[in-house]
Amino acid sequence: MNYTFVETPIGPLLVAGDAETVHEIHFAPAEPRDEWVRDDDALKYASVQLRSYFAGKRTSFDLPLAPSGTEFQRAVWDALRRIPFGETTTYGDIARAIGKPDAVRAVGAANGANPIPIVIPCHRVIGSDGSLTGFGGGLKAKRWLLDHEARIAGIRLF
């Protein structure tokens, strides 16, 4: 697997994948696995799209993804990808969307295990009371991402 780093306003992101697909994105401080090879060119397609997103020029991603997870996790991640840019939803809404209305906590766990944050927009999921809840990049980064998207979309979230 190859990796690269992408500088962003919320800190460097470690992007891992191959010439065809993105497998993982990690927030700082992140270290590549020993068997990974740094190859900025192999992941240029992902780097370009991430930079464009952070520059406010991209509202969706057109990247081939290969997240590794259970069938349930992949169902949650697919539902996350359907949350429109600049909008938020709740864990309960995601649970209902995948036909598992009683699995709110499991949805939260799957959301937290998302291996490709930002592209699979787990930051768009908030608590049922409208509060910001856990995020792998930290709540400050989550707030930044939501504010960034709201600004680009011309809406007010909070």
Overall residue count recorded for the chain in this entry = 158
Q: Which of 122, 125, 126, 145 is catalytic?
A: 122
Active site residue 122: yes
The contacts of residue 102 (CB under 8 Å, 6+ apart) are 95
- What per-residue string of b and e applies to 4-33 under the rule 16 or more CB within 10 Å gives b? bbbebebbebbbbbeeebbbbbbbeebebe
Cα separation, 92 vs 127, whole angstroms = 9
Residues identified as active-site: 122
